[in-house]
Amino acid sequence: MDYTKIDFDHELDRGPNTYNQTLGQWWLSQSSDRAHSYAYSKITQHLVSFFGQPPERIIDYACGAGHMLTRLYRCFSNSKLTGIDGSSLLLKLAGKRLQSTGQDWRQRVHLIETNLPDCSLPRGQADVLLFVFPNIVPDPDLPDSEEEKDSHHPEDRAVADYLALTREPNPEEETVEDDPETLCDSLITDNLISRNLRRLLKKGGVCVRADYANAPRNELTKLVEQRLAFQEGSLQEPVNGLRAEQLFKVVGSTYYRSKVLEDVYHQTRDKTDKDGGYLLTTLVAL
């Protein structure tokens, strides 16, 4: 699919349904290419090596067309799997892909269609949760539920405001061009998604994330690392005297160079988003 013909800002403004149409077709093309296939294999290898015994319940959050689900189905033959996504188009294709694994796949796999984040999903049932190259568009037309409004720790908004207002001492190191209000909203949205991930996991459960990145975690500036930690709910240290609620503890993070970063480049048209790859991070739910 020719990404140069897509107006991503326009499509994203349309809300989640765009992943049943234009952006759904774009993502299907992207996620099926060689770079993504190799990355999915690396993530699967990490999961297999990390767990001594197969987890009982695994959730693939924003599972798309089921590229990871089919790998998990084959590698963890005794695990119950759940795939959650907001696109009926991609979930239908996930079902077709799982069908190739055998007629009895429905006995172990449950597919759920819902806009994400979704605070009404059953809590604390998963041993493992995957969050792999998500492209989530929250529905702008749906009002926040009372649960979502109350879900943030009292100091989270103030931490997000500070991280959004603060800029790098060296302007050349600044990684975002968004105005503070837009950046703050982005930080809060990502943190809300991380809260949704935490709710789905048992205490001590494992969250494995694959996030687009331009550099290894140990090469990030302090500010970028703080923003990342706030987004994923792993921020431990106080920021400007304020402490966000910590949801996860990072137990490992590996950087892989990969052309999957072109997913970002297609949307930004910024050539710096062609140089990098992804962070494969393992977190434990607190």
User: Domains in the chain, ordered, with CATH?
Assistant: 3-285 (3.40.50.150)
| Span 160-185, average pLDDT | 87
Please give the sequence-ordered ranges of beta strands (E in DSSP) within 56-132, or none if there are none: 57-61, 80-85, 109-113, 126-132
Stretch among 63-72, 155-164, 174-183, 221-230 having the lowest mean pLDDT:
174-183
User: Which comes out higher in pLDDT, residue 167 or 280?
Assistant: 280
Nearest CA-CA partner of 69 in 103, 98, 33, 26: 98
Note the pLDDT of residue 230: 97
Say if CB 234 and CB 250 are below 8 A apart.
yes
Q: Which residues contact 66 (CB under 8 A, 6 or more apart)?
A: 83, 90, 91, 93, 94, 95, 97, 98
What Cα–Cα distance (Å) separates residue 152 from each residue in 98, 149, 193, 195, 233? 37, 7, 11, 8, 11
Rounded to 10 degrees, the C-alpha dihedral 233/237/242/248 comes to: 20
Measured in whole angstroms, how far is the alpha carbon of residue 39 from the centre of its chain?
A: 14
> To which residue do tokens 């402490």 refer?
243
Q: Report the mean per-residue pLDDT for the chain.
A: 92
Q: Which residues contact 150 (CB under 8 A, 6 or more apart)?
A: none
Coil, helix or strand at residue 206? strand
Q: In this model, does residue 204 exceed pLDDT 70?
A: yes
pTM: 0.94
| Span 162-174, average pLDDT | 85
Coil, helix or strand at residue 201? strand
Confidence of residue 147 (pLDDT cuts 50, 70, 90): very low
Element (H, E) at 249: strand 248-257
User: Which comes out higher in pLDDT, residue 154 or 55?
Assistant: 55
pLDDT in tens, 48-83: 999 988 999 999 999 999 999 999 999 999 999 999
Note the pLDDT of residue 177: 78
Q: In this model, does residue 34 exceed pLDDT 60?
A: yes
Q: In this model, does residue 89 exceed pLDDT 80?
A: yes
Note the pLDDT of residue 150: 47
Rounded to 10 degrees, the C-alpha dihedral 114/117/119/125 comes to: 80
> To which residue do tokens 């041993």 refer?
127
Note the pLDDT of residue 134: 87
| Span 141-169, average pLDDT | 75
| Span 163-183, average pLDDT | 85
Helices (H), the chain: 8-13, 22-31, 34-50, 67-75, 88-99, 146-149, 156-165, 180-200, 222-232, 262-268
